[in-house]
Amino acid sequence: MQKRFFTLLILSFFTILFVLSVDLAYAKTFNNDFETGDLTDWEKTGEAFDFQPTYGDNPTARNRGEPSQHQGDWWLGLFEKYQGPDKGTALGQAPGETQGDGPQGTLTSIEFMIVGDKINFLIGGGNHPWSSDPNPCCVNLVIDDNVERTATGDNNESMTRKEWDVSDLIGETAKLVVVDNHGGGWGHLNFDDVHQADASGENIPWDMVTAVEARGKLAVSWAQMKKFY
């Protein structure tokens, strides 16, 4: 009996390891900060995103006096037209080069499940709200084609971190849509480094978010599951 018990225990242990490894296979990262140097996980329309993401502090390179305050190397800067020392140089671009406010379009993320109480991100650029401007320039949180949350810049190239309370939307499947429908003054948006966070404000890794969506449970460990849920 004792031998059979230990055999079952060992089998159970390896079954758990197998299940966790399967969950890990479903855990993928989301290009939440554009550090791939391209628009992986996002789909564009129009022309506003043809030279995105941009590289480095291009506003400072053009002596704007308002540093981008981006995270990492890459970010969305829809006034900018510089894609870095490799791709940008190959395309004949130089630091400080711009495309201006004229180009318009949208950029839509892959769908993801809302598992955190908050969503935070860096945002700057124009203040043309979705709700009140006929030509909005903003980022929207969209669920079933409905705009549930929206944010704009503050007419400044320097990005600041803003936050949405999404605690009432936990369990919903959403996507982010960056909208540039404005071709006039401050008709561009800056955007970078979006995260979901728990009630305390601690960011939740995106591979955990996607694992929850794909398998209905958190990958990696039960301890992490307990920590965030």
Q: Which CATH number fits domain 31-197: 2.60.120.260, 3.40.50.720, 3.30.470.30, 3.10.130.10?
A: 2.60.120.260
Q: Give me the pLDDT at residue 147, please.
A: 98
pLDDT, position 217: 46
Compute the Cα dihedral for 134, 163, 31, 222 and give only its sign: negative
Q: Give the percent of the chain with pLDDT over 90.
A: 77
DSSP 8-state symbol, 37: S
- Cβ atoms < 10 Å from Cβ of 157: 24
**pLDDT on residue 25:** 40
Give 4's pLDDT tier (boundaries 50, 70, 90). low
- In this prediction the pTM is 0.82
Q: Which of 35-39, 51-55, 153-157, 210-214 has the lowest mean pLDDT?
A: 210-214
According to the model, what pLDDT value does residue 62 have? 95
pLDDT of residue 213: 58
- Angle among Cα 199, 205, 208 to the nearest 5 degrees reads 100
33 contacts 194 by C-beta, under 8 angstroms = yes
Tell me the average pLDDT across 163-188. Answer: 96
| DSSP H or E segment with residue 10 | helix 2-26
**Helix 206-215 with 2-26: angle, nearest 10 deg:** 110
Task: Pick the more confident residue, 1 or 25.
Answer: 1
pLDDT at 48: 97
Contacts of 20 (CB under 8 A, 6+ apart): 219, 220, 221
Question: Average pLDDT of 136-153?
Answer: 98
What's the pLDDT band for 212 if we cut at 50, 70, 90? low
Residue 125 CA to chain centroid, in angstroms? 17
